[in-house]
Amino acid sequence: MSTTINSFNGDQQQSSSSPDVGDLEKHYIDAKAFILSATTKDGINLYDHLAHCISQLLTDQPREATDLVEDISKTIKSETTPTQHDTLRDRPAPDSEHCLAAEQKPLFEKVDHNEELDDEALQSPLPHILEQAYYFEQAGIGLGKDESYRIWLALKQLADKGQIDKLRFWGKIFGTQKNYFIAEAEQNVDDETDENELHEEAHISDDNRHPNEEEMDGEEDMLPKSNYKPPPVVPKEERGTGVNKYTYYVCNHPGGVWVKLPIVTPAQISQARLIKHYFTGDLNKEITSYPAYSGTERNYLRAQIARISATSSVSPAGKFKFSEEEEETEDEGARESYQENEDFKGATLSELLDEELNGWVHHVQYILPQGRTKWWNPGENVDKEEEENEEEEEMKAETEEIEPEQGPPLLTPIGADAEIQTTKAWTARISSHLIPQYACAFVRSNLWPGSYAFARGAVWENIYVGFGHKYATSDYGPELPPLPANEYSDGPEIGEAEDPSPEEEAKARAAEEQAADEGEEEEAEEEIDNEDDDN
Amino acid sequence: MGIEAKDFSLDLDLLAYSGIVFSPEQRAALQTSLVILKEQYKFKTIHLWGKILGITEDYYIIQGRQKDELKDRQFLYSLDCINWNMLTPPGDEAKELTPQCQGRFTGDPSHDFDVTKYTVSNEDTEEENIEEYKSQLREEERLAATLWKIEQDAIIIPRGSYVLQPNGNVERNRTFEGLTVTESGKLSNYFHFREPITLQQKSLIHRATLDKSLHFLDTIDEDVPKGWSVQYERGSGLVQIRSLKWPGMAFFHIPETNRYGSLYCGVGEENKDLPFML
């Protein structure tokens, strides 16, 4: 402050010829009076404000004080201005950070182990998530150490419930409101089916029955019957087989409740192929799309998981082999099961990084266009119905011609995957060029961006982190609505007659009267005839 | 926006919630490169911007900025995080052709894409005819145009984190103390970090009420369709905003601190199906 006053004084000295001390004093007092009197409506005094700013600068002594002057002035102003209290004040939101911490705390609580670390505890189906996370990090994907550990704890919680033979972390799907963490479990097939599924089945059969009932108590005036027959519903694959081989559990955040997803039906898979929709994070949300999706987000999620798993679950070649018994019965069609190859010592990097991509194989069955992994012949079904209605022999002839859909068999090298236009379906890389002796190999799906697999020695794993949509080179357009039906052809029977004009009416009336005059007698006879008819 | 070199490794961990992860080797290499490049090109600040996944190679992108962080930006790209090339700003033709270009980035900057462009004349009349021309687009130009487009659509900053200085420069606000938890969940508190477009179309009365040094950009809640997903991670301790228009663009902000940043890690293609997907 002192410097400014000095220069101010200096200016004064130059301008005024006589350096009068009293004059100078006067100038000083004038200036100070002005500064003191400059007061805003809010009651901020310029003098106080300046003093405040300068004392702030002197106490803080920031390095770039010149640049910060405006900001300091602004903050001080906003602090001293009395805040305008609104009658509607923001209610402080419940501290969700605290809620979450409280929810996740049980994950960290140690369960009392009465027994020492016995064999059973060591044979838990829980995978080594952190080791996998380390390799995924090398591959440039993953969820970070912190979150991975929480997921691990959450998976442990799931595994401790029992009933699970094998468990792995499938991946994370981003939603617009919340995300899904997905665990894949292999369970005993003889597990009782969930109540939900039973409900659903009951619901579906209700729907089917409904139209029939309506027909039964239809009115006397029968509406024309449609001769359209819906195509037969493709039966779903039971839990433990085909697309429902694994059971999936989802939660919105580690520590949340694991929700078991229902089994997927072929129709849900085929419909999911027609639509593209962001997940919201709410399992019960209805999906607004065209064509309409039958089911809630939980079914759509399950269908997308099945599609992603089928295309992008890969393992190093040689890890799995077909069991010998199966090999004998090879003629039966595609082999469905395989077993772990105990002689597998791990694939070498050069095999895994092979340009033809023969070092990796699919270990999940391909989903046919029908929505099943094993083709179901609609013809067989018709045969049974045949006995009931014999008229449909033509239909039978048609269905017999259907060629069974076929997909690539299990354990096919990924190099044989169909290309996306001109790009390969997979990209194989090494995690480090600088230290290749400790690097792992990884593949990335180009068809389902976000799907990765790594392998190093005998360790390998798949993960999916993404929005859950397939890559397409062309833009998506929803299926067009069906064409409008043809108009009913106009005929004389439905044509509207023109109203007669007054002249015509008069003419008709005249003719009528004439006729009445002429045939009064006849009419009398007719009337009698009519009466006879009525009786 | 990117991630600034000084908080590099801390901030990178926060974006792992969106699945964006760099391997330890890449992190180390990038950190070294950031320091060297900043010195070499005399940038005021330098940011890791993201990566574009190609078929054979990935592009790592770094952005350097001069005094005015809104206008003076430059991109550098690399295939191995060590050798960097300057990316020239895209020409008008590249900008026009890129949205029509099909197929993934290959990882070879000199690769040529065949692009078919259609122009419709006399639309909706009887003489409507569609002309078709074929032209070529080099991958490097496509990369530049794609980055430019992403900057236009999906780079965001929290309100108040940058200020318009009296001399017209846009600089980082050193007194920014972060958005509160409630504020950080609202899209109206985030700005597109690009030259304003919709702000100019607002009425004068509306603009007069705005704080000129803070509110000089477009807010993202006015985007049509609303292509943003805001989520709290770790309770409310971390906000993640993901672009639905450019899947792979993720932004984070820790409420009540001045830590924020964003990275892009994706295939470099716009999600044109967005209107059908909400």
The CA-atom distances, in angstroms, between B8 and each of A82, B5, B157, B218 are: 40, 5, 17, 27
What integer pLDDT is reported at residue B252 of this predicted model? 92
Return all residues near A227 (Cβ < 8 A) that are at least 6 apart: none
Q: What is the pairing mode between strands B249-253 and B260-266?
A: antiparallel
- A141 vs B247: CB contact, 8 Å cut-off? no
pLDDT digits 0-9 by tens, B27-43: 889 988 888 998 999 99
Give the rounded distance of the alpha carbon of A273 from its chain centre: 13
Residue B112 contacts A, CB cutoff 8 Å: no
What integer pLDDT is reported at residue A92 of this predicted model? 54
ipTM confidence: 0.89
Q: Which residues of B touch A174 (CB under 8 A)?
A: 18-19, 229, 242
Give the whole-angstrom CA distance, residue A25 versus residue A19: 11
Q: What angle do CA B2, B277, B153 make, to 5 degrees?
A: 30
Residue B221 contacts A, CB cutoff 8 Å: no
Give the whole-angstrom CA distance, residue A409 versus residue B269: 33
Residue in A closest to B17 by C-alpha? A143
Q: Which residues of B touch A465 (CB under 8 A)?
A: 19
Question: Strand pairing partners for B249?
Answer: B264
pLDDT digits 0-9 by tens, A334-379: 566 777 777 777 778 888 887 778 888 888 888 888 888 888 777 6
Q: Which residues of B touch A99 (CB under 8 A)?
A: 235
**A155: number of CA atoms within 13 Å, CB side?**
25
The CA-atom distances, in angstroms, between A37 and each of A169, A232, A338 are: 71, 90, 91
The two three-digit tokens of residue B137, written as one number: 């687009």
Give the whole-angstrom CA distance, residue A283 versus residue A250: 9
> Which residues, given as ranges, of chain B have pLDDT below 70?
1
The sign one gets for the Cα dihedral A219, A220, A226, A227 is: positive
As a dihedral over the C-alpha atoms of residue A270, residue A274, residue A279, residue A285, rounded to 10 degrees, the angle is -70
- Does A48 or A110 have the greater pLDDT score? A48
Residue in B closest to A420 by C-alpha? B103
What integer pLDDT is reported at residue A463 of this predicted model? 92
Over pLDDT 70: what percentage of chain A?
74
Residue in A closest to B239 by C-alpha? A97
> For residues A410 and A365, is the Cβ–Cβ distance under 8 A?
yes
| DSSP helix/strand/coil, A165 | strand
A252 pLDDT exceeds 70? yes
- A276 vs B273: CB contact, 8 Å cut-off? yes
**How many Cβ contacts (< 8 angstroms) between chains A and B?**
123
DSSP per-residue codes, A335-359: ----EE-TT---B-HHHHT-TT-TT
With CA atoms as reference, report the closest residue to A143 among A388, A503, A427, A464: A464
- B276 vs A476: CB contact, 8 Å cut-off? yes
- A98 vs B235: CB contact, 8 Å cut-off? yes
Q: Which residues of A touch B231 (CB under 8 A)?
A: 177-179
- B231 vs A142: CB contact, 8 Å cut-off? no
Give the whole-angstrom CA distance, residue B74 versus residue A503: 90
> For residues A248 and A183, is the Cβ–Cβ distance under 8 A?
yes
Residue B83 contacts A, CB cutoff 8 Å: no
Question: Testing the interface with B: which of A143, A151, A304 to mutate, by most B Cβ within 10 A?
Answer: A143
| DSSP helix/strand/coil, A205 | helix
| DSSP helix/strand/coil, A454 | strand
Q: What do you get for the CA distance between the two ends of chain A, in Å?
A: 126
Give the whole-angstrom CA distance, residue A115 versus residue A58: 66
Phi, psi dihedral angles at A358 (to 5 degrees): -90, 0
- Does A404 or A306 have the greater pLDDT score? A306
Q: Which of A68, A141, A427 sits opposite B174 (nearest CB)?
A: A68
Q: What angle do CA B115, B119, B122 make, to 5 degrees?
A: 170
| DSSP helix/strand/coil, A418 | coil
Residue position matching structure tokens 């009658």: A87
Q: Which residues of B touch A469 (CB under 8 A)?
A: 247
pLDDT digits 0-9 by tens, B196-229: 888 888 888 888 888 778 888 888 888 888 889 9
> For residues A423 and A475, is the Cβ–Cβ distance under 8 A?
no
Where exactly are the structural domains of chain A? 2-15+22-78, 127-190+233-376+402-466
> For residues A163 and A249, is the Cβ–Cβ distance under 8 A?
no
With CA atoms as reference, report the closest residue to A244 among A278, A168, A193, A294: A193
What integer pLDDT is reported at residue A330 of this predicted model? 45
Give the whole-angstrom CA distance, residue A469 versus residue A307: 10
Q: What residue type is A459 in one-letter code? A: V
Residue B175 contacts A, CB cutoff 8 Å: yes
- B237 vs A97: CB contact, 8 Å cut-off? yes
What integer pLDDT is reported at residue A401 of this predicted model? 58
pLDDT tier at A116 (50, 70, 90 boundaries)? low
Give the whole-angstrom CA distance, residue A179 versus residue A93: 21
The two three-digit tokens of residue B109, written as one number: 């900057």
DSSP per-residue codes, A147-192: HHHHHHHHHHHHHHT--EEEEEEEEEE--SS--EEEEEEEE-TTSP
Task: Report the residue count for chain B.
Answer: 278
Q: How many CB atoms lie within 10 A of CB A199?
A: 11
Residue B172 contacts A, CB cutoff 8 Å: no
Q: Which residues of B touch A276 (CB under 8 A)?
A: 273, 276-277
Residue B80 contacts A, CB cutoff 8 Å: yes
Give the whole-angstrom CA distance, residue B15 versus residue B245: 18
Region of A330 please: left (phi>0), alpha (psi -120 to 50) or beta.
Answer: alpha
The two three-digit tokens of residue B272, written as one number: 């044109």
A124 pLDDT exceeds 80? no
Q: Which residues of B touch A142 (CB under 8 A)?
A: 16, 19, 21
Q: What do you get for the CA distance between the two ends of chain B, in Å?
A: 26
> For residues B213 and B191, is the Cβ–Cβ distance under 8 A?
no
What integer pLDDT is reported at residue B100 of this predicted model? 84
Give the whole-angstrom CA distance, residue B149 versus residue B89: 11
DSSP structural state of residue B199: G
Which of 27-66 (B) contact A at CB < 8 A?
Answer: 53, 55-56, 58
pLDDT digits 0-9 by tens, A66-102: 878 888 888 887 777 665 555 665 555 566 777 777 7
Residue B188 contacts A, CB cutoff 8 Å: no
Which of 123-162 (B) contact A at CB < 8 A?
Answer: none
Q: Exposure pattern of A95-128 as b/e (b: 16+ CB <10 Å)? A: eebeebeeebeebeeeeeeeeeeeeeeeeebbbe
Give the whole-angstrom CA distance, residue A13 versus residue A21: 10
H helix runs in A38-95, sequence order: 46-60, 65-80
The CA-atom distances, in angstroms, between A8 and each of A50, A257, A287 are: 17, 73, 74
What integer pLDDT is reported at residue A434 of this predicted model? 86
- A421 vs B103: CB contact, 8 Å cut-off? yes
What integer pLDDT is reported at residue A236 of this predicted model? 81
Residue B82 contacts A, CB cutoff 8 Å: no
pLDDT tier at A535 (50, 70, 90 boundaries)? very low
> For residues A420 and B52, is the Cβ–Cβ distance under 8 A?
no
pLDDT tier at A1 (50, 70, 90 boundaries)? very low
Give the whole-angstrom CA distance, residue A513 versus residue A419: 88
A508 pLDDT exceeds 50? yes
> For residues A297 and A282, is the Cβ–Cβ distance under 8 A?
yes
With CA atoms as reference, report the closest residue to A458 among A354, A313, A348: A348
- B19 vs A143: CB contact, 8 Å cut-off? yes
What integer pLDDT is reported at residue A220 of this predicted model? 62
Q: How many CB atoms lie within 10 A of CB A297?
A: 20
What integer pLDDT is reported at residue B71 of this predicted model? 84
Return all residues near A22 (Cβ < 8 A) that are at least 6 apart: none
What integer pLDDT is reported at residue B145 of this predicted model? 92
Residue in B closest to A439 by C-alpha? B25
Confirm whether pTM is higher than 0.90.
no
What does the radius of gyration of chain B's CA atoms come to, in whole angstroms?
Answer: 20
Give the whole-angstrom CA distance, residue A259 versus residue B2: 36
- B229 vs A176: CB contact, 8 Å cut-off? yes
Average pLDDT for A238-263: 86
What integer pLDDT is reported at residue A201 of this predicted model? 46
Peptide bond into A291 cis (omega under 30): yes
Residue B266 contacts A, CB cutoff 8 Å: yes
Residue B93 contacts A, CB cutoff 8 Å: no
Give the rounded distance of the alpha carbon of A375 from its chain centre: 27
Give the whole-angstrom CA distance, residue B263 versus residue B19: 11
DSSP structural state of residue A419: P
What integer pLDDT is reported at residue A414 of this predicted model? 83
With CA atoms as reference, report the closest residue to A414 among A298, A313, A333, A522: A313
What integer pLDDT is reported at residue A464 of this predicted model? 92
Average pLDDT for A109-128: 65
How close is the nearest chain A Cα to the Cα of B278, in Å?
A: 6
pLDDT digits 0-9 by tens, A149-177: 889 888 888 888 877 888 889 999 999 98
Give the whole-angstrom CA distance, residue A244 versus residue A241: 5
Average pLDDT for A5-22: 52
